[in-house]
Structure 1
Amino acid sequence: MSHDFGLDPRRVDPEYDRHGGFPVFEAAQPGPGFGRFVAAMRRLQDLAVSANPSVDTWTDVADRAEALVSELAPFEAGEGVGPANRVPDLPGAGSLLAPPWLVEKFEADEVRLRVTFSRFHVGGNYAVHGGVLPLLFDSLFGMVIHAAGRPISRTGFLHVDYRRVTPIDVELYARGWIREAEGRKAFVNAELRNSDDELLAEANGLMIRLLAGQP
């Protein structure tokens, strides 16, 4: 199940427009070329941290990378305008910032993801960098808030406990849910497990609904 990007947050938060101008993210349909581009860029990220070619090869690929930057630069747009993070059918919704997750369940009681980390996410000894997991959990917290129909919120705190080494190149499973809600506060839990249902990491955090005028 994908994000319901069509849910207008103004329906549940009349003060939404006064919260620092957060854009309303609606689903984008950029065509198959964008999906191919994101997939190639993810692979390129892996190679950027693992390849060891000759000096001449680095010069050649740097020239081509700079040419690609020049080609795309005239089209740079504001937040919520480009398709990145707005294509629910693509891993990570088409955002290179996010680990490549896919949504399995997107309901008020729980959000579930499938995620596979790769060489780009390695911290050492072929294990996922510890700093990548808070990024995954924070993204999941935001999905949990949205799925529950709560108004736009920011992270008050996020605590992660690392239980096992998180591997790359295998499909893992993350889930998040609201443990307790009180007024502007929502306390959220999440966990990451492998295919044997072993707990790799767990998180808890506080999501706070923004007041009018807060960015």
Structure 2
Amino acid sequence: MSAAEDPRALDPDYDSHGGFPNFEPATPGPGFGRFLTAMRRAQDLAVSADADAATWDRAAELAEELAGLLGPFEAAEGVGPANRVPSLPGAGSLLMPPYKVVIFESDGVELEVEFSRFSVGGNYAVHGGVLPLLFDSVFGMVIHAAGRPISRTAFLHVEYRKVTPIDTVLTARGWVREVEGRKAFVNAELRDPDGNLLAEANGLMIRLLAGQP
């Protein structure tokens, strides 16, 4: 990245706005990837299983045991590996649907993303409220890829074109449409394997001033 593209050249306080942590890649070991895979499956089953009372009691015991195991290791933002392992789906964050970054360039980003049963809103379609979460994350990646300083979402508008399916690899794209000083107007879209437009979004990302959280 050249000096002209370095956000620190535009913003000397880039690393300290609002106390944002510096998210360096984490290397937690293969157990973390196995843990995420199991947890994603557990999330799907938590919203789809129809077990008997004894099984739910046992599941609760195991969940409580897991919470007790990990409780002593709770860490501050930017310290734990979640969201800091680019090689894992969703960068290692259970908050996000599993995605893989395919393109990360100054003129735009592209992701492959696959929703599962956990994200269903009804009739096996992805819940409408999940898509803004995806688009907001895409916007953040777009800003970073474009070399813009740390920014916050001022608004995000989503238009739903078709039902978004689960268990299908979809393509999400995002790019900066226009820049006006601290403002970056961004666009994003989500398409199915046949190229059909499922949803599109536009938003405004505003560069933080010194001291803004």
| TM-score between the two structures when normalised by the length of structure 1 | 0.95
**Distance in 2 between residues matched to 1:195 and 1:11, nearest whole Å:** 40
Which secondary structure state, in structure 2, belongs to the residue aligned with residue 187 of structure 1? strand
Which secondary structure state, in structure 2, belongs to the residue aligned with residue 175 of structure 1? strand
1:10 CA drift (Å)? 4.0
**Distance in 2 between residues matched to 1:18 and 1:171, nearest whole Å:** 37
The residue aligned with 1:104 is 102
The residue aligned with 1:185 is 183
In the superposition, relative to structure 1, how do residues 8 and 91 fare at CA in structure 2: closer, same or farther (>3 Å)?
farther
Question: Do the aligned residues in 2 keep the contact of 1:49 with 1:120 (CA within 8 Å)?
Answer: yes
1:15 CA drift (Å)? 1.3
Question: Do the aligned residues in 2 keep the contact of 1:18 with 1:214 (CA within 8 Å)?
Answer: no
Question: Do the aligned residues in 1 keep the contact of 2:6 with 2:147 (CA within 8 Å)?
Answer: no
CA RMSD in angstroms comes to 1.3
The residue aligned with 1:133 is 131
The residue aligned with 2:118 is 120
**Distance in 1 between residues matched to 2:8 and 2:62, nearest whole Å:** 44
The amino acid of 1:178's aligned partner reads V
| Structure-to-structure mapping, 1:1-215, within 5 angstroms | 10=8, 12-215=10-213
Unaligned residue ranges in structure 1 (runs of 5+) = 1-6
**Distance in 2 between residues matched to 1:39 and 1:12, nearest whole Å:** 40
In the superposition, relative to structure 1, how do residues 87 and 54 fare at CA in structure 2: closer, same or farther (>3 Å)?
same
1:182 CA drift (Å)? 1.0
In the superposition, relative to structure 1, how do residues 67 and 9 fare at CA in structure 2: closer, same or farther (>3 Å)?
farther
Question: Do the aligned residues in 1 keep the contact of 2:126 with 2:166 (CA within 8 Å)?
Answer: yes
**Distance in 2 between residues matched to 1:110 and 1:187, nearest whole Å:** 13
1:19 CA drift (Å)? 1.5
Which secondary structure state, in structure 1, belongs to the residue aligned with residue 165 of structure 2? coil
**Distance in 1 between residues matched to 2:11 and 2:51, nearest whole Å:** 53
Question: Do the aligned residues in 2 keep the contact of 1:35 with 1:90 (CA within 8 Å)?
Answer: yes
**Distance in 1 between residues matched to 2:18 and 2:189, nearest whole Å:** 31
The amino acid of 2:146's aligned partner reads A
**Distance in 1 between residues matched to 2:11 and 2:71, nearest whole Å:** 35
**Distance in 1 between residues matched to 2:154 and 2:59, nearest whole Å:** 42
Question: Do the aligned residues in 2 keep the contact of 1:8 with 1:24 (CA within 8 Å)?
Answer: no
| TM-score between the two structures when normalised by the length of structure 2 | 0.96
The number of aligned residues is 209
Which secondary structure state, in structure 2, belongs to the residue aligned with residue 105 of structure 1? strand
1:212 CA drift (Å)? 0.5
Deviation per CA, 1:69-102: give whole Å up to 9, x if none: 0010000000000000000011100000011110
Unaligned residue ranges in structure 2 (runs of 5+) = none
Question: Do the aligned residues in 2 keep the contact of 1:180 with 1:186 (CA within 8 Å)?
Answer: yes
Which secondary structure state, in structure 2, belongs to the residue aligned with residue 20 of structure 1? helix
Percent of matched pairs sharing the same residue: 75
The residue aligned with 1:3 is none
Question: Do the aligned residues in 2 keep the contact of 1:101 with 1:116 (CA within 8 Å)?
Answer: yes
Which secondary structure state, in structure 1, belongs to the residue aligned with residue 25 of structure 2? coil
1:16 CA drift (Å)? 2.5
1:161 CA drift (Å)? 0.2
